[in-house]
Each structure stands twice: as C-alpha cells, then as structure tokens.
Structure 1
Amino acid sequence: MQSVGEGAKEWIRECQHQFRHHRWNCSTLDRDHTVFGRVMLRSSREAAFVYAISSAGVVYAITRACSQGELKACSCDPLKRGRSKDERGEFDWGGCSDNIHYGIKFAKAFVDAKEKKVKDARALMNLHNNRCGRTAEALIYGNQFPISLRLVQSFTPVESSLGTAGRVCNKLSRGTDGCEVMCCGRGYDTTRVTRITKCECKFHWCCAVRCKECEDTVDVHTCKAPKRAEWLDQT
C-alpha cells in the first residue's frame, strides 16, 4: 500500500501541473476522504480526468515497485527473459524489465473494486475512465502513444472545489490563465511587488556560473473573492 500512496502523490502533482493555468487546478482538501472535495460528486470533465490519471498512477507505482524489488508478489517481467530476437537479430534480455502486466492487473482489481459494487451509469463511466488511464500507461511503457483515448464525461465544467479567489492570473492572456476567464468575471486585484532575481550570469572556466542580483518591480494580478452569498454556496 505504500507504493500506491507514493503513486497517488505523483499523479496528484501531475494533475496539478496539467491544470495549473485552469480555473480548476486539481486542488486537494486534506480533511476530505475524496481528496478533491465536491468536484468528485459531479460527472464532470474534471472528475473523468481524475479517475483516469489515478488509475494510470497506480499502474505506474506498482510496476516500478515490482522492478525495484519492493513487492513480494511480483518481480521483473517474466516474459522478457532468456534469449529472443527482433529485426536486428538474436539477443539476450538483460537487466530488469518493467512488469507492466502485473501493474495493470493490480490496478484493475484495486481501483475498480468500488465501482463494480454499484452498477449505475456513473459507475460505468468511472470504470471506462479507469480503463483509459491504464491503457494510456500501457501505451507509454510500450513506447507508443494513443491516437484516441476518449474519456466519458458530462459537459458541465466546475470552477474549483476551493474557488479561484487569490489565484494569480495573466492580465494580457485570453486563455484559461487570463484574468477574465480565471476569475470568472469577478475582477482582479493588482499588487506591485519587488522581486530579486539572478541576472547577467556568466560562465567561468571551470566550472562555475556566477550571477548578479537584479531587482525589478512587477504587477501581480490575483482574482477577487466572490460575494459572501456565493462563497457560502460553494463551501
């Protein structure tokens, strides 16, 4: 279970990286058993992505643990041992190949267990998205890339389980990281801050890089908080 826990931390970081410029940025709640809060109660695009990437994360974590000898139930890929051949000729397998087959088998039993107890439309959607995540991870391990892995989802995006108040936005952008989109039309506050950064860096033989410290003043834009009534509705 420790491997699954480590894998969960990795896929949460990946989720937050992928959505860092969106209203919903994969924010988590420490005291909520769902981790992501109310966003998981809806059949949304965000929930679909969470189910897929969490399933992929379990596959990755278990597969890696098998290769590193951390689990007694599995080891290296048993199919990649001894002598084999490809278009270049015969060769001997060496090292420890990732046991992706065991990783997928474990993830399917572990992640799908809850959904198989309830046979409704939401459970079927979750099972499909779990399968998409495992398939994507298998294709990556096989050095292939999926042409079309379609997540089943509704088309009702949610703002965020924690809201976007205080999130930094880009005043000049028209994309999802722009203040108009990120702040949901509520407006934004502007704060002038002074930053100290490394500048005029030079390489000195051998082997060091020396920089000066430069000070510059920039405007930081952050989303305004919603009105009190709206905020109460979201919590």
Structure 2
Amino acid sequence: MNCKMATAQHSRAILIASIYILLSASFSRNIVSCSTVVTLGANVICNNIPGLVTKQRSICNTRPDAMVSIGQGAEQALAECEHQFKNMRWNCSLRSSNVSSLQLGTNLRVGSREAGFALSIRSAGISHGITQACSSGTLQGCGCDKEKQEGEWSEGGWQWGGCSADIEYGNEFARLFVDAEESKRTPRSLMNLHNNRAGRKLLRKLVEIECKCLGPSGSCAVKSCWTKLPIFRRVGETLMKRYYRAKKVQPVQLLKHRQSLKLYRTRRNSEDAKPGRADLVFLDDSPNYCDYNPTVGSLGTHNRQCNRSSAGADGCQRLCCGRGYNTHEYTRTWQCDCKFHWCCHVTCKECQEKTEVYNCK
C-alpha cells in the first residue's frame, strides 16, 4: 500500500472516530512523511478525547481504526441505556452535559446501582462494536472466529460455516480499553471492574447460533451454522432485569493479604457471601434524582413529561417527586376522510384532536 492510500484510510478512520466521540479536529495537509501524517492525525484526535486515561490514549494512538468501533459501541450503549430508563427519574441522559458516551457510568460519582448498570452496558456495547467490526471486515487484525473452522462438525450433528462472531476477541479488546480506567485498587474500582466484566460476560452468553439448511430440496439433513451477535436491545433488557436484582456489596480487607480488597454482599451467609460474576453490584444507595445535582449525576425531573394516569415510575406523582405538574393543552389539526373525485380533484375534511401534556414542576 502506498503512502497516499495509507494516509487516506487512516485519516478517514480518524475522522469517523471524531464524529462518534463528539470531537472536532482539523488535520494538516502539508506533511511530507506518510507515517508522520498518520501519527499526527491520531495524536490530534486522541489527545482531545475527554476522559481518556494514559493507557486508553495509547490504544487510541496505535489503533485509531478501532476507535471508530469503540465510539459506535459506546453510543449504542448510551442509546440503549436511555431507552431502558426513559420513564424513570434517572434517565441516563448525557446529552445536556459536556460528557461523552465513553464516560457513561464513570460520570456518576456515587457507586449506585445506576452506575453499575451504566458501566456494564458500556462495556458490553464496546465489545459488541469491536466484534461486529471484526465480522464485517472493517477492523484490521481480526475477522471471523478462528476456533470455528468451516466444515468442522459440531457435537450437535451440524457443521460450522459462514462467519462466526469472534466474541472472545471483542471482549478482550473491550477489557483492555475499559478496564484501563481502574488503575487503583479502591472499593469503587472493584465495583467498576466487576460490572464491566458482568456486561461482557452477558454479551458472550447471549451470542446466538444461526443455521442454514444444506440438504437436497431444502431439507435440513445437513446444516451449516455460525454464531452471531444478539441485537443490542436484548442485552439492554437482560441487564435491566439484573439492575433490579443488583446486589449491594461492601469491601472487605483480607487478613492474609493486607493489600487485597474483595467485595462481599452486605447480607452475608456461608453459602452466598460473594456476589456472582453475572450479578450487577453497587456500593451506595441511590439518591432520589429529584433535583439537579451534577455531583451525583442527577439532572433532576423538572419539566420532564409524565403520565397522569400511570401509577408506575412514569406517573406524575412519582416522577415529579410530589412537586406537582403543569398541564398544557394542544390542538392538532390535519386533513382527513379524503376522497378522490373523477376527474380530477380531491376533497378532504379537517379533523382536530385536543391533547394534554403534563410536565413536572
């Protein structure tokens, strides 16, 4: 590959990464050396992405193409988090604050169950993005799962074929990038690492097997199968169930290893002292998220739209925290009952509908 082609590919990867990570950057065109152009471009981007630690910047500088997939995965995780919490007091929103999707979860200073959910879905989202890029051939250095060789027979009586998602590669890359934030062994760091791993572990568990019949006349005497990533909505829905069952933990200093901390459940017994690897865990009780408090990651519920007839989390009484709500009436007008007359005109009636919208005070 010549210098011009390599420069174009890397510049394009870096530019896309800057879009997904909500960053603007300009590139110098008056560079003589191909490697200098590539290096300068990566440095310009990586040194300006908010929230990256040293190890993450190193990954960004050496693999700018992977930052595209990381950014896509983080954005996907944020969108799913917002979907799952759209009717709750804490709605996972980062849009109104100067925080990128890469900081999802780390922006919450309180070690709450919401932070646990956000960390786990971000980790799963980044792994999903990397694995998907490998399967589609858009990421260098990876591809289909090499463990599942085409033509080899499985224990289920079918043979491997197609391009299986290399979830192990995606999970390992995500682990290196996401877990790099936790350099100190503090209680919060242990909590973050546990939830990061829980998200990746869930993604591996939800990987699906898809098959194609190869027998004569469409029969399934012989099947060719491959693994594929689940739709991310399924990841969000499963993590939401685990959010409600999240375990409160506390750090315990091990007597034999004075420098070692482990997380244990606050309600311990001989059989179930440690949290399971698949559990989401949290250290602190959640704040009420009623009022604006950036310290705890709360945007408050002022002016949030609520459902007056609901007794659930989206109901005006609960969502507005007892402050009451304002009622706004709107009239929607549109053309209806349209009829075509030969020849050649259309007549319509005018329909109206009055609606009420309720917003928290």
The code of the aligned residue for 2:313 comes to T
- Residue number among 79, 85, 95 corresponding to 2:147 in the alignment: 79
Which of 47, 65, 68 aligns to 2:136? It is 68
The DSSP-based 3-state class of the residue aligned with 1:215 is: strand
Q: Which residue of 2 aligns with 1:12?
A: 78
Separation (CA, whole Å) in 2 of partners of 1:88 and 1:80 = 14
Specify whether residues 121 and 55 from structure 1 end up closer, same or farther in structure 2 by C-alpha distance, changes over 3 A only: same
Amino acid at match of 1:173: S
Deviations 1:19-54 (A, max 9, x none): 011011111044236756996111111111110000
- CA displacement, residues 52-94 of structure 1 (integer Å, 9 cap, x when unaligned): 0000001100000000111112111001113222455353x32
Q: Would the alpha carbon gap of residues 134 and 199 (structure 1) be closer, same or farther in structure 2, given more than 3 Å must change?
A: farther
**Counterpart in 1 of 2:68?**
2
Query: Among the aligned pairs, what percent are the same residue?
Result: 45
CA shift in 2, pair 1:197/1:78, >3 Å: farther
Report how far residue 199 of structure 1 moved: 7.7
Give the conservation status (yes or no) of the 8 Å contact 2:309–2:315.
Answer: yes
| Alignment partner of 1:57 is 2:125 | yes
Matched position secondary structure for 1:135: helix
Is 1:112 aligned to residue 179 of structure 2? yes
Per the alignment, residue 227 of structure 1 pairs with none
Q: Compared with structure 1, are the counterparts of its residues 61 and 165 closer, same or farther at alpha carbon in structure 2 (3 Å cutoff)?
A: same
Aligned to 1:191: 328
How many pairs were matched up? Answer: 213
Q: Distance in 1 between matches of 2:80 and 2:135?
A: 22
Q: Highest CA radius of gyration, 1 or 2?
A: 2
Per-residue CA deviation, residues 172-224 of structure 1 (Å, 9 max, x unaligned), is 111100011111111100001123579889xxxxxxxxxx9843111110001
Unaligned runs of 5+ in 2: 1-66, 210-229, 243-277, 290-296, 339-348
Code of the residue aligned with 1:104 in structure 2: it is: N
Change (3 A) 1:94 1:38: closer
1:150 to 251, 262, 279: 279
Cα 1:2/1:197, change in 2 over 3 Å: farther
Aligned to 1:172: 309
- Separation in 2, partners of 1:51, 1:37: 5
Gap change, CA 1:184 and 1:42, over 3 Å in 2: same
Q: Describe the shift of the 1:88–1:133 C-alpha distance in structure 2 as closer, same or farther (beyond 3 A).
A: closer
Unaligned regions of 5+ residues in structure 1, if any?
202-211, 225-235
Give me the CA root mean square deviation.
Answer: 2.9
**Conservation of the 8 A alpha-carbon contact between 1:7 and 1:57:** yes
Matched with 1:141 is 207
Match of 2:170 in 1: 103
Q: Output the amino acid matched with 2:72.
A: E
Query: Residue 39 of structure 1 contacts residue 46 of structure 1 at CA under 8 Å; is this kept in 2?
Result: no
TM-score normalized with structure 1 length = 0.80
Higher relative contact order, chain-length normalized (CA < 8 Å, sep 6+): 1
